[in-house]
Amino acid sequence: MVYIPIPLQKRLPPWVQTYPEAIAAGFCAGLTMLGWLALQMQWLGLGVWMLFAAYVIGGYASAREGLTTLWQERELDVDLLMIVAALGAAALGLWQQDYHLLVDGAVLILIFALSGALENIAMHRTDRNIRSLMQLTPDTARMLVQGQEKQVATADLRVGDRILIKPGDLIPTDGLVAQGDSTVNQAPITGESIPVEKTLGDEVFAGTINGSGVLLVDLHKPPESSLIQRVIQLVEQAKTTQPPSQQFLERFERGYARVIVGAGVLLATLPPLILGWAWDITIYRALVFLVVASPCALMASIMPALLSGIARGARQGILFKDGALLETIGQVKAIAFDKTGTLTTGLLNVSDQIPAPGVTPEQLLQIAASLETYSEHPIAQAVVAAAHQRQIPLNPAAAVQASVGRGISGELDGLPMQVGKLAYISTDLATPVDPTLVQASQRLEAAGKTVIWVRRQQQVLGLLAVADQVRPQSAQLLQTLRRRGIMATVMLTGDNRATAETVATETGVTEVYADLLPEDKVKVIKRLQQQYGTVAMVGDGINDAPALAQASVGIAMGTAGSDVALETADIVLMADRLEKLEQAIVIGQRSQRIIWQNITLALVSISLLMVANFLGELTLPVGVLGHEGSTLLVTLNGLRMLRD
């Protein structure tokens, strides 16, 4: 980084403050060109001073960083190697009065400075994608004070404040809808393409876009605790966390740099002493060796790809908490899924209606829903929702009484009615229940569905079956995962075997484990890890927390803003959409391919440049160009992940 005094920074244009490395590289290029022209015209003094100015301006940042590392960490780094090589070329040129070697050293610094500037510009693009998250929330909000609208800074809002959200507004912070109805575009946060309906009591999130309705929103958490702020914190944390592979490369670089310096000293001294080579040629070859053997490209092979993968995921509503997770998820061979809320929607619905002879399905559902509307049980809510969806009117009931775990009874139009289990509604029946209905009930229960019976006076009107609905995209996703190299898809559930087998048949999972306690799920994950190595677990982040922690990668399927999902899982699918899992795996696998491409390119380029140098076919500028060119190529290759 080029140092610019703070008072001067405030007077500089924004693009100068953003890209000081590019400015320094530009000056270095101009001075190098002018210095070369001066030497061509035999203006030696002017040419030498211009070239030294190019050395100072272009090499200041690298020299400062290299000397700081040497002084504070007692380590050699690539920046210092480049400066030593350039100064060595300059010293050799002055010693032999071959001033064009000063041009070689200046070109070395110029190419190194240009490469650093281009890398910083490319990395700034990654940072810009991550920083764009921070620009999703407005700086001000419309707060209602005694019924009057007042513009206040978003940071000054407090819990309990009420804000006004007009059509098309960017929502400034999280809150609960206190009044109004609207649709909200949550794509900036969750990646959902379809706007979500919001009404009384629903939560809205900072950074999302209000639709055509007007909303009054009460703050239930401070702005700094909003979902978008927590996502920003997690993304920034992931950005600064180095995966094991990068940590290994940095340890390797420290030892490698010592070896290169030692080998350079030997190459500069032994051939003249032992083989009688000319000192100038030997020193020049040693300087070229210092340049081409430096592992810049290797060091740039990993982090650009991982950072751009993190930014790509954040744009699509996939939150990677750590760069290492991109490596891990790209190596997953088996995925375990929780059933309820993951492969299924987690919401009960009426799947079957079997009326008795002489009774219509509408009559059966109307009677059941008219009684169940007085119950808060999830099964009751599913029955009532089915009646509403089919626009069946409900009748008022009297003397309603619930029997916990059995059913509910009451009077409709003065006639006694019962809805519930067979044992509950069959008490004191004058005639046995129709065997056909009993067989149908047994068949539905064998499929894992919950059956409720409906009775009016002494007549059994029929039965309804309620079941959790399999996500429409589950089966297609599992097929796609197998095509992408996932060897096993496993379902883990605490539900009964019959229900699990039914869902397994619909989705196509390869293995089913039912009747599991949380600790049992952990045992299954361990067994899968022994068999397949890298295993991912997809769950809701609450009752699956032990299994998520045990898995190589814990992935939370959760509604946007779930605190538990953000805290327990390694990867969070911000939208409650299972197909985001495939996108997460694709990002991981693609980042792995790019990293291996980069490592291969880096090693091949270093090897070819070293061979060319030992054969005496490489000049210092060409060596620098090859070295820095390969570094720039691997950096830009890593940033391909940012493209849509």
Active site residues: 338
Q: Which of 371, 386, 335, 400 is nearest to 551 (CA)?
A: 335
DSSP-derived pairing of the beta strands 196-198 and 182-185: antiparallel
Residues 6 or more apart whose CB falls under 8 angstroms from that of 308 comprise 126, 129, 638, 639, 640, 641, 642
363/381 Cα distance (integer angstroms): 18
Q: Which residue has the tokens 């000319």?
A: 278
Residues 6 or more apart whose CB falls under 8 angstroms from that of 85 comprise 105, 108, 287, 288, 290, 291, 620
CA angle 12, 14, 15 (to 5 degrees): 105
Q: Which residue has the tokens 């379809």?
A: 194
Residues 6 or more apart whose CB falls under 8 angstroms from that of 364 comprise 353, 355, 454, 461, 462, 464
Q: Which of 283, 289, 262 is nearest to 271 (CA)?
A: 283
- Residue type for 161, please? D
Q: Calculate the CA 206 to chain-centre distance.
A: 19
List the 209-210 sheet strands across, edge first.
Answer: 196-198, 182-185, 209-210
**Phi, psi angles (nearest 5°) of residue 532:** -115, -15
107/395 Cα distance (integer angstroms): 89
